[in-house]
Amino acid sequence: MTKFADETLTEIRRDLHRHPEEGWKEFRTTALVAEELDERGFDLALGSDAVTVEERLGVPAADEIAAARERAKREGAPEEYLDRIGDVTGLVAEKRYGDGPTIGVRVDMDALARSEASDDDHRPAREGFASTHPNEMHACGHDGHTAVGIGIARAFDAEGFDGTLKLFFQPAEEGGRGGKPMSETTHVDDVDALLALHLGLDEETGTVVGGYDRPLSNAKLDVTFEGEPAHAGGAPNEGRNALQAMTTAIQNLYAIPRHADGKTRINVGQVHADNAQNVICEEAQMRVEVRGEDADLNDYMMQKAERVVEHAAGMHDVAYETSLYGMTTTFENDGFVVETVMDAAETVEGVTQICGRSPFGGSEDASFLIRRVQENGGVASYIGIGASNPAGHHTAYFDIDEAALDIAVGVVEEAVRRLAVRL
């Protein structure tokens, strides 16, 4: 019997909440989902069959991944599936119920690198299902998304529908790292309609948004400057100062000109340089993020940022390397799908308010899957399911109202059935 066999979606979500796993480390999550869907007769593509390995972004060091895999084993990940997963997380599960169209549903599974509140004001702490891992927390509801994904699989157990269901359990959404490599597999090719969903987003339980779209494009760039150390007292001229290069870069990154065509953003979140005080800095690292209201504006920022980095390095005669940590793009929902979701929501118990298309403030790498489906002639929407989150996403007190889980399953199930008919 599978671990989740007798568990409700709330129980599954709580189990996942207690065992959060950051991006590219979702071994326990992937293995448990695989076990559950295998049991239900889905065909599984796991790990390197689910994502294009070489397109992965922001991948942790090999020893970190290995440690995460070991921990998953210790924490009850079924070994059979762990073996099949290998070193790469993520899962695509497919089941054919009838001759109709292929409907995809995408959920994400990763947690964030932050600690969870442990006081009684925080329900997960009070009720004993808070994260058991310091500095890891499901603070964006992906535990719920994963549970909903299982719920959707279960929903068609009894009657099926006239088509094929394809479930994308995406790794590493945070930072925009897993969407692109999953979008570049052949799994997306035959999808006629794709639904993605997000719980919470500051909407009350009972609210359904037919489609969020037009997120900001963004890109995250890791930069390392490599200079030459020297004794800061004895021979300052012999150094090539990586920190001066980085500092010059940062000042000029923030000063990239605003753009006439729309919103742009720039930020440097992390910097590290670790020399003793008396050593001219040899190596300095920073993590940069650019955004644009659309992909062109994002490209404008990225090109400007790369030029700044190149010449900041050149100015101080230091080498540099850049790597893309993550990225997202923008997208627009198809009105037909938005309306179908809204129609579906009418029939679902617990739904009290139904909204149309709405702009998505943040960024999302489901964007890559959605655009790929649309490029292939398919249609898509990104559904919002209110969940009365008591605190903002990404904060220590984030939580979701688990009543939203069944609502989410219900809306998606209904939407799938209608899409299968209407397409």
Does position 62 interact with a second copy (CB under 8 A)? The reply is no
Contacts of 311 (CB under 8 A, 6+ apart): none
Q: Report the nearest approach of a second copy to the CB of residue 302 (Å).
A: 13
Does position 359 interact with a second copy (CB under 8 A)? The reply is no
- What x-and-dash track marks residues 209-238 binding a second copy by CB under 8 A? -------x-x-x-----------xxxxxxx
Which of 10, 115, 252, 388 contacts a second copy by CB under 8 A? 252
Does position 135 interact with a second copy (CB under 8 A)? The reply is no
Q: How far apart are CA 175 and CA 268, in angstroms?
A: 14
| Residue nearer to a second copy on the CB measure, 48 or 328 | 328
The kind and range of the H/E element at 314 are helix 295-315
Which of 29, 89, 244, 329 contacts a second copy by CB under 8 A? 244
Does position 1 interact with a second copy (CB under 8 A)? The reply is no
CA 197, 13, 108 angle in degrees (round to 5)? 35
Q: Binding-site residue total for a second copy (CB under 8 A)? A: 66
Does position 175 interact with a second copy (CB under 8 A)? The reply is yes
Does position 250 interact with a second copy (CB under 8 A)? The reply is yes
- Closest by alpha carbon to 139, among 412, 400, 423? 400
| Residue nearer to a second copy on the CB measure, 250 or 383 | 250
Q: How far apart are CA 92 and CA 178, in angstroms?
A: 13
| Burial readout 244-276 (b: 16 or more C-beta within 10 A, e: otherwise) | bbbbbbbebbeebeeeeeeebebebeeeebebe
- 258 and 312 in contact (C-beta within 8 Å)? no
Residue type, 112: L
Residue type, 184: E
Annotated binding site for Mn(2+): 140, 142, 174, 198, 394
Cα distances (angstroms) measured from residue 169 to each of 122, 314, 402: 28, 43, 20
- 199 and 385 in contact (C-beta within 8 Å)? yes
Does position 298 interact with a second copy (CB under 8 A)? The reply is no
Does position 264 interact with a second copy (CB under 8 A)? The reply is yes
Question: Could you give phi then psi for residue 330, rounded to 5 degrees?
Answer: -105, 170
Q: Report the nearest approach of a second copy to the CB of residue 232 (Å).
A: 3
Which of 64, 127, 204, 274 contacts a second copy by CB under 8 A? 274
Which residues are near a second copy by CB under 8 A?
113, 175, 216, 218, 220, 232-239, 241, 243-244, 247-248, 250-252, 254-255, 257-261, 263-281, 284, 287-289, 291, 300, 307-308, 310-312, 314-317, 325, 361-363
